[in-house]
Structure 1
Amino acid sequence: MTNNPLTPGVVAGRLPDPELARNFADIVPRFDRHEARVAADRCYFCHDAPCITACPTSIDIPLFIRQIATGTPEAAAKTILSQNILGGICARVCPTENLCEGACVRETAEGKPVEIGRLQRFATDTLMDKGIHPFNRAAATGKRVAVVGAGPAGLAAAHRLAMRGHDVTLFDAREKLGGLNEFGIAAYKAPGGFAQDELNWLLSIGGIAVEPGKAIGNGLTLDALRKDHDAVLLAFGLAGVNALKVDGEALGNVEDAVDFIARLRQSDKSKVAVGRDVVVIGGGMTAIDAAVQSKLLGAENVTIVYRRGRDAMGASRHEQDHAAANGVKIITNAAPVAIHGNGAVREIEFAYTESGPAGLTIGKETFRLKADQVFKAIGQTLDGAPAGLDLNGRKIAVTGPGRTSVPGVWAAGDCAAGGDDLTVTAVAEGRDAAEDIHASLRG
């Protein structure tokens, strides 16, 4: 074990390697061919399928399931990928219980929907395993487009623009591309390097030059990008993290949950330190992922604390239940007011809250939780937006399919106002912005 010098209880290697391997194995293994055919046979193939409407990328779900049922998963994959080129990762991380499966007729009638997500994974994995890329580039247009940000929105846009015959340069702040898909999701949802495999497969269409380690304000300026390219798409996500703004936030072993998740995604799990008593503040998917993975690393007590009620949590009920099943305790209607410790965190103090017509009220009654590690998961914010762009709140203001206030500049994904902060929504926004850029470049 490697001790943290600030807190002896925060260590790596709490569990033996075989147990860590089991804990971080694929949470929902892919169907084999027989299982997929059986699952596909449950679909009613609705003419006015509500699952299509519920999908942010509008995949023709009954069609691709019928194609699986008739033994042509490669055709099913093309149906999926024509709408969502990142259909593989979305099949793994989408909150399908709130989207397509939540709208499934069988869910309404029986409480057991068609397993659309797993069927989508079966189809896309089958195609990718064969090394097939079902799309070709159109004739070269001679137009050059800069895409800043290699996460879901940027990748979807880059692929669609390349497919339309434009030359794309894809920039990203990190040396390793992938954005949220590579750094921001639970390790057990996409193990085995899938995010990089999908990225490399996507880039195989050609026409996309990659420039890692560059971002607006770090080697790039919007003015220079506009001068050197016919169009610019900003898809750099939300790099800033909201602060708790309470005393003790600067103590040791208090960190952003997104950094912890990224570290887990990029490290040997046996080298990632975790405390005995972990507290996660927040109610979204980031909070769930940080909490569950802390437990899987061997933390003894893991607690999520959220300032509002269960129904207001950003994480779906399915994900909340998954956390509970892994031993995570969830406390609601409590907000942090102070973090206590000497050099490193020892306790965190909360006040009970009430939600009413006037908003959230923080009461005077407080309680403390023992903590040797605290993760903040209270949302991310735009960091370093280029000057001259109109903002809507704390995001880039857009109209239509991603048009910003600056001519020739589009924005998509989490950095753009509107839409849910979901991988699948970012893909849809990137795809639609790319089509609008293509239309604009054609005049």
Structure 2
Amino acid sequence: MTNSPLTPGIVPGRLPAAAYARNFADHDPALDAHEARVAADRCYFCHDAPCIAACPTSIDIPLFIRQIATGTPEAAATTIWTQNILGGMCARVCPTETLCEEACVRETAEGKPVEIGQLQRFATDTAMAKGQHPFARAARTGKRVAVVGAGPAGLACAHRLALHGHDVVIFERRPKAGGLNEYGIASYKTTGGFAQREVDWLLSIGGIEIRTGVELGRDVTLDQLQADFDAVFLGIGLAGVNALRSEGEDKAGVRNAVDFISELRQAADVATLPVGRDVVVIGGGMTAVDAAVQSKLLGAENVTIVYRRGQEKMSASGHEQDHAVQSGVRIIHNAAPLRVLGNGAAEAVEFAYTSDGPNGLVLSPETFTLKADQVFKAIGQTLQGVPDGLAVAGGKLSGRSGKVWAGGDCAAGGEDLTVTAVAEGRDAAEAIHQQMMG
């Protein structure tokens, strides 16, 4: 949304030019070789490593850390990629503090885990800088698979299928491949165009064609794909956004947080992006945190996240919540939006305090109002564009229907995490391979 007469408070260029480069630089710089060796030496190399069990892709973490400790980071990267072909991005965006690092024995004993995420980034970045792909395709099988969606699940599925010698065509509705990694992650978490570099590196295995600007249901049908290919994998993500169902949410200045984040990621110059003076973000997940923090980095003076339940129910990790607060974002819990106030454009949001009762959320008669010229909705995404005949339960696709598989955020069991999507895409590829090869 650009500035307009209805949104006078939403403007670009709130900060000096130098501030944008500083604010959107890599917020967690990579380890150098010496730092990586020191960090690796803290690992106990547990034989029954709990960190492996906590990793959705089951990377052999003690092995790759030992390989770093012995001076072979390229071998460490191969260990990582064997299980997680998008290990470079996952090292940047995976909530390691609630997965592998939370399970680390050092965390249990000392309250300071081995820096697994940083070590994973060091290994994958070092190997990618060499420009070589560590895997070679098997002999071509003559089988063809259609993958719908070039997000983490689709890319992981396509790579594993290509590794087995199958030919893969990925259909992606957006102009670029990458999905959540390209369009849905805060800019300061993945700088320097890394998402596209990782996609290009992944495709270097060969046997994978990507057709962008192709949407399922508009440009191609599921029946067509099933007729033309030996199998189909759907990694279509969650394209819809839940509505606030509050009065005034159609006013100027109110928009979806995912669209704001996407624009930030694709902007050649973030200084040109307009942001309000008083920003309110409604939601409690990673999208809410990313939208709020980046609003602050763009120069918003007052940024507040409002979540309808208690802090313990927020899906954003404690680490991310702390990062938001340290960035100057205020977080209010147990409050639900009633209405967006303003004459044509948002000027404030009225909230009611809430409590969790035996029958669900209860709104209190006590209310409060937050000044807001810009409001971001970050209350979850929904499945859209489901072809007829596919099973949907709980708003998600089942894992398989005939010769059609599904994985990632759109499928049952998806946890809205890049690492989980990679695991589901990889595992679906193995199931497809076994099915096609009898």
Q: TM-score, normalised by structure 2?
A: 0.99
**1:430: which partner in 2?**
425
Name the counterpart of 2:299.
298
Cα distance in 2, alignment partners of residues 243 and 425 from structure 1? 26
Q: Structure 2 matches for 1:16-415, cutoff 5 A?
A: 16-267=16-267, 268-398=269-399, 403-404=400-401, 407-415=402-410
Q: Is residue 280–residue 375 contact of structure 1 (8 Å, CA) maintained in 2? A: yes
SS at 1:368 equivalent: strand
Q: CA deviation at 1:381?
A: 0.1
Residue-pair matches, total: 436
User: In 2, Cα distance between the equivalents of 1:73 and 1:364?
Assistant: 59
1: CA distance between counterparts of 2:384 and 2:137? 34
Q: In the alignment, is the contact (CA less than 8 A) between 1:242 and 1:379 conserved in 2?
A: yes
Residue by residue, what CA displacement relative to the aligned partner does 1:170-204 show, whole Å, maximum 9, x if unpaired?
Answer: 01010111100000000000011000000000000
In structure 1, how many angstroms separate the alpha carbons of the residues matched to 2:65 and 2:161?
A: 28
1:376-435 Cα shifts (integer Å, max 9, x gaps) = 00000001101100111211122xxxx23xx10000000101131100000000000000
Q: Do 2:407 and 2:414's aligned partners in 1 also have CA atoms closer than 8 Å? A: no
Q: CA deviation at 1:4?
A: 3.5
Cα deviation, residue 132, structure 1: 1.4
Amino acid at match of 1:274: V
Per-residue deviation, 1:3: 4.3
Cα displacement string for residues 130-173 of structure 1 (whole angstroms, at most 9, x for unaligned residues): 10100010000000000000000000000000000000000101
Kept in 2, the 8 Å contact 1:101–1:113? The answer is yes
State percent identity of aligned pairs: 72
Instruction: Tell me how far 1:348 sits from its aligned partner.
Output: 0.4
Deviation at 1:356, TM superposition (A): 2.3
- The answer as to whether partners of 2:59 and 2:84 remain within 8 angstroms in 1 is yes
Residue identity in the other structure for 2:424: E
Partner amino acid for 1:416?
A
Q: Which runs of 5+ in 1 are unaligned?
A: none
Please say if residues 4 and 273 of structure 1, whose CA atoms lie closer than 8 Å, have aligned partners that are also in contact: no
CA distance in 2, matches of 1:271, 1:382: 32
Q: Secondary structure at the match of 2:347?
A: strand
In structure 1, how many angstroms separate the alpha carbons of the residues matched to 2:58 and 2:278?
Answer: 43
In structure 1, C-alpha distance between the alignment counterparts of 2:296 and 2:244, rounded to whole Å: 23
Shift of 1:364: 1.3
Q: CA RMSD in A?
A: 0.8
Task: Give the Cα separation in 2 of the matches to 1:4 and 1:176.
Answer: 29
**Which runs of no fewer than 5 residues in structure 2 stay unpaired?**
none
C-alpha distance in structure 2 between counterparts of 1:271 and 1:5, whole Å: 18
Secondary structure, in 3 states, of the residue corresponding to 2:12? Answer: coil
Secondary structure in 2 matching 1:118: helix
Distance in 2 between residues matched to 1:99 and 1:5, nearest whole Å: 47
Whole-angstrom CA distance in 2 between matches of 1:244 and 1:8? 23
Post-superposition CA distance 1:334-354 (Å, at most 9, x none): 000111111110010100100
Matched to 1:408, the amino acid is K
The one-letter code matched in structure 2 to 1:324 is: V
Distance in 1 (alpha carbons) for counterparts of 2:215 and 2:222: 10
Measured in 1, the distance between the counterparts of 2:199 and 2:6 equals: 38
Assess if the C-alpha contact under 8 Å between 2:285 and 2:316 holds in 1. Answer: yes
Partner amino acid for 1:175? P
**In structure 2, C-alpha distance between the alignment counterparts of 1:420 and 1:270, rounded to whole Å:** 33
Q: Partner amino acid for 1:440?
A: Q
Give me the whole-angstrom Cα distance separating, in 1, the residues matched to 2:109 and 2:341. 51
**Per-residue CA shift, 1:4-41, capped at 9, x if unaligned?**
43222110011122110000000111111100000000
**SS of alignment partner, residue 345 of structure 1:** coil
Q: What is the letter of the counterpart of residue 396 of structure 1?
A: L
Q: Taking structure 1 as the reference length, what is the TM-score of the superposition? A: 0.98
Decide whether the 8 Å contact of 2:285 with 2:315 is kept in 1: yes
- Tell me the distance in 1 between the aligned counterparts of 2:232 and 2:215: 13
Q: Secondary structure at the match of 1:119?
A: helix
CA contact 1:146–1:225 (8 Å) conserved in 2? yes
Segment of structure 1 superposing worse, 362-371 or 316-325: 362-371
String of CA shifts for 1:306-342, please: whole Å, max 9, x gaps.
0000000000001000000000000000000111111
SS in 2 for 1:420: coil
Q: In the aligned structure 2, how far is the partner of 1:225 from the partner of 1:189?
A: 36
Give the aligned partner of residue 418 of structure 1: 413
Contact 2:87 2:120 in 1 (8 A): yes
Verify the 8 A CA contact 1:412 1:430 in the aligned structure 2: yes
